[in-house]
Each structure stands twice: as C-alpha cells, then as structure tokens.
Amino acid sequence: MAADAEAILAGLDPEQREIAESLRGPVAVLAGAGTGKTRAITHRIAYGVRSGVYAPDRVLAVTFTRKAAGELQGRLRGLGADGVRAQTFHGAALAQLGHFWPQVVGGAAPRVVPGKVPTLSQVAESRKLALGGESLRDVASEIEWRKTSMLSIDGYAELVAERPVPQGLDADQLVEMHRGYAALLEERRQIDFEDVLVLITGMLESEPRVALQVRERYRFFTVDEFQDVSPLQHALLSVWLGDRDDVCVVGDASQTIYSFAGASSSYLLRFGARYPHAREIRLERNYRSTEPVVRLANRLMRDRPGALTLRAVRAPGGAAEPRDEPRAPAFEWFASEQDEAAGVADSIASAIRGGTPASEIAVLYRMNAQSARFEEALRRRGIGVRVHGAQRFFERADVRQAVMMIRGEAKVADTRPLFQIVSDVLRAGGWTAKAPEGAAERERWEALGALLALVDEMPPGTGIAEFSEELLARQRTQHEPALDAVTLSAIHAAKGLEWTMVHVVGLSEGILPIAHAADEESIDEERRLAYVAFTRARDVLFLSGVAGGARAQRQPSRFLAEAGIIR
C-alpha cells in the first residue's frame, strides 16, 4: 500500500506534491491557468485513498459543470480511486434532496423544471407583457442571480434600482415577474435548479438528523473552481462541513467570470481569514502556454486582486525556460466583420495544411451571436466545425444509436481486436472511412469517427465489454471525445479547455469589453474574460478586432494596450 501511494506522487512538481501530501485540515490552492490544478487535486485524492487516510466513499469532489465532473471522475478512476464521487453542486444537492425529501416532507420531491423561460413566458402573457426571447432570458438570469445571492423577492425589490432591467419592462414589472414565476412554480409543485440548493441547504440547517447523515456519509471535501462559488453554494458547503475543516478549495481569482450569476472570488481570497490555520499553496508554473503567451497574460492581470505571476516551463519538474522558438501573439485589425471571418478562416486553413489538427484549433468570442459568420467562413473552405455549447455529443441521435449497437455487440463473445469490432459496428450503421462532402453528413461522420478514435485511448487488451462500459460512463458524465473539427466557443464556455492554436476575435471596444460594461467592476470582469481567452492557447495565439460595427466605427480593445500588444 505504501509503495502504491508513493507511486501516485511520481512526476508531480514540488508544489503539486505538497498539495497531494496535504491531506488533512483546510487547504487553499491558488492555481493559475495551465498550472496542472486538476492533476494536483486528483493525485491528492488518490494519494489519500491509497495511503489509507481517506475511505473513497467518504470523499466528495465538487465542481461546476457535468463535463468537469466527468473529467475528474475519469482521472480518479485511472488513478485507482474510482470509489470517490465527483459531482456538480447541483448534482450532489439533487441526489440528497431526492433521498431525504420523502423522509422529512413525505412523498416525492418536487419536479425540477428544465428551464425558466417557458414558465416566464406564461407569466408575461398572464400580465399582458410582450417580451421577446432575449428579455425572457434576461429575467431568468436575474432570478438566478437573486436566488444564488440568497435574496428574497422583497430583498431584491429594495435593490432592483441598481440592477439591469430587461427590455420591455420597468423595475416594478421586473419584480412582479419574479413574484409571478415563484407563484406559478408553487402552484404546479415545481422547483428550479437554484431551488434545489435552497431546499437542501434549508433542510440540512433545520433537520439535525439529516445533517448528521450527510456528514457521516461525506468526511473529506474538494471544491474545484472555488472562485466561482456563489453565496448559496458557499452556504451549502458550510452545512455539509458543519464544524469540520477537512476541505481543499482550488481556484484562481483571475478567472472569476461568472459574477453576473452571483459568483464571488471573495470566498477564495478570504479563505485564510475563515481558517487561520489553513495551508495556502500557489501553483504558478504554467505547463500549457509558451513564454510569450504567459507574458501577455501576466501583463493583462498585473496588480489585480489575487493575480498570480505565471512562469512558462517545459514539463512538470522541468526548467523555467521558454519552449523552442515560441511565436509571439499576433494582432490584426480588420475593416469589417466579414473581413475578420475570412481572415481567420484563411489562417486556420493554412494551419491545417501545415499539419495542425483541426481539433487543436479554436475560435473564441465574447457573444454567441458572433459564431455564425466564422462557422460559415470555415465550412465554405471545407473545414469541419464544432460549436461548443450546442447539442451535447452523447445526446446526438446518431451517437446514441451507435452506442446502443456497441453495447449490443458487447453481449456477444467476440475475440477479435477491439478496433475491428467497433469499426464493423459503425460501418453497419453507415459510417465509411472516407469523409462525405455535405456539411450535415460530414458532421455525422466526424461524430462516429470520434467514437472509433476512443479505441486508441483504451489500454492494450481492452475488450468490447470494457469499451462498452467506458462509453456508458462517458455518456453518464458527458465526458465527450475530441472531434476532428475546429471549435467555436464563447469565452465563458471555454474555461478549463485548451488548444494548440487559438484565435480570440472581436477585440474591439463595445464587444470585449462589452458595451454595457460601464463601471470599474464590470470592466474588471471583462478583463478576466480576456485573460481566460488568452490562456487557452498552448503555442499559437492570434488576436483580432473589427473597426466597422453595425452602427459606428469601433476602437481596438483597451485590453490590447494593457497586455502590451498595441500602444
């Protein structure tokens, strides 16, 4: 057991190893972009399990997205800690609410509505308010902010003058939309995702026997992306912990980009004040990006609260020196949005011809509405595109069918090589080795090809039964394979991801920073968005902006000057 535990620590750098060996008490990990924080915390959990300090079923690792939870779960499984639960805040809270509701309240827990907009549309109609889809989504965001900030409707009404009011409403009508939404959910015995956290937090606070059971079940906590914790999530974590302090939090204040949804980096920055005996460990060795990219990111965040100073290194434990002949980030200023899309698409086409895989290239933008012109320009050049945040991979009808066929094949004894079995199954479903011409057909071809590519990621000797179970686990956690296509993504959705080559587009005043960012606090949020975008690049970073807006001429983003790209 001791030898197995020590093997977990092999290959970690000194700071990562210190994290892995800090198994008890409060620990705060301040982890800059690309510094291997997921590696550090998964090895910490696995080391705790292998050394016997942690019982795996008493460990809860919490993060913010199903994809991130799936990645955590997959890494822990690979490290021999597959008994550990990795969940989102909402996933863990929903499971607990469903378990305890029948005992405390009686009957089944209320049904969770999949989204707020349909209900809000009915509320608006009942009040004879003509609200478009964008306004309804803005109201939904305000309801989310109110609940995650732990404000009652009356408390929100006192602050509504300071809040953005969606188009088509005044402040009083906005408050009435909140009241109508709450009343309609109550009438239908429904709750939303924020209510899940509200209800389980209240139940744990008011029912000592429920709190006792949860605290007996989970003893050791790890919270990733702690800079994005909201007051409501922090309250839930506090009741999970009770008077205990075995919690490890991980985050980077420079990547706080969800303040509009109630997130606050203050819990990360003040962790030491709450736990004076907490151990604080900084990860500042950046293993992702070249030295010029890291230097640009450091300039952008210089002297900002909680900012870390990154150092570019070659590999874990390697010397702090730049990679061979790194390319400096390049900037290009275009006359129009069409020119920018064409220029970016040409650059990407050239990179692909030069040997860069399409899956290693991304285009990042501030607003989803920017994606269409880049998608069109890339497809016109025959380049496959994946719009990140669109339909999930495992929810595609063709992928679901292929997974079902593979699971069916797993029920039959077959000693052929795994690649041949999976290939035959996909060919039976219409997949071919040659890419089709049409865009829709090519998208399906790329999705099925990604399933086949997963075979190469499996350990030697893996059989069809084990591969089938791996697909099922990935489907359950939304752990998607990489597609051979260029990724288009809003910056918010790109956090935690990385590519060899990244184009950050729309770096114009009014776009990034966005036009409605009027005060210093909101400009700081936009700056952090730019920081997240820049640090997604491993080797090549292209920056671009547009002079010609729909109504007026724009100036280059102020963040370009702050980062030393322009003067």
Q: pLDDT (tens digit, 9 = 90+) per residue, 200-255?
A: 999 999 999 999 999 999 999 999 999 999 999 999 999 999 999 999 999 999 99
Domain that holds residue 152: 116-191
Same domain, 383 and 398: no
Same domain, 9 and 87: yes
96-99 LR contacts (CB < 8 Å, sep 24+): 96/200, 96/214, 97/196, 97/199, 97/200, 97/203
What number of helices (H) and strands (E) belong to the chain?
24, 16
Same domain, 225 and 369: no
Q: Is 38 annotated as a binding residue?
A: yes
Percent of the chain past pLDDT 90, that is, above it, reads 61
Q: Is 33 annotated as a binding residue?
A: yes
* pLDDT value for 438: 56
Counting every residue written for the chain, the total comes to 567
For 319, other C-beta atoms within 10 Å of its C-beta total 7
Same domain, 467 and 397: yes
* Domain boundary residue, one of 132, 158, 191: 191
- The pair of three-digit structure tokens given for residue 337, joined into one six-digit string: 């949005």
The one-letter amino acid code at 221 reads F
Same domain, 87 and 132: no
Same domain, 255 and 400: no
Same domain, 248 and 123: no
For 449, other C-beta atoms within 10 Å of its C-beta total 18
* pLDDT value for 430: 80
Same domain, 399 and 386: no
pLDDT bin (cut points 50, 70, 90) of residue 319 is very low
In angstroms, the CA 9 to CA 172 distance is: 58
In angstroms, the CA 9 to CA 43 distance is: 7
Same domain, 349 and 492: yes
**Is residue 431 a part of any domain in this protein?**
yes
In angstroms, the CA 200 to CA 94 distance is: 8
Measuring CA to CA, how many Å separate 540 from each of 33, 270, 349? 16, 35, 14
Percent of the chain past pLDDT 70, that is, above it, reads 93
Where is 110: in which H helix or E strand? none
Q: Is 70 annotated as a binding residue?
A: no
Q: Is 32 annotated as a binding residue?
A: yes
**Is residue 106 a part of any domain in this protein?**
no
**Is residue 103 a part of any domain in this protein?**
no
Q: Is 106 annotated as a binding residue?
A: no
In angstroms, the CA 402 to CA 419 distance is: 14
**Is residue 297 a part of any domain in this protein?**
no
Using DSSP's 3-state secondary structure scheme, residue 333 falls into strand
* Domain boundary residue, one of 477, 502, 537: 477
- Among 185-194, 379-388, 416-425, 429-438, the range with the most confident prediction by mean pLDDT is 185-194
In the chain, the number of structural domains is 4
Q: Is 140 annotated as a binding residue?
A: no
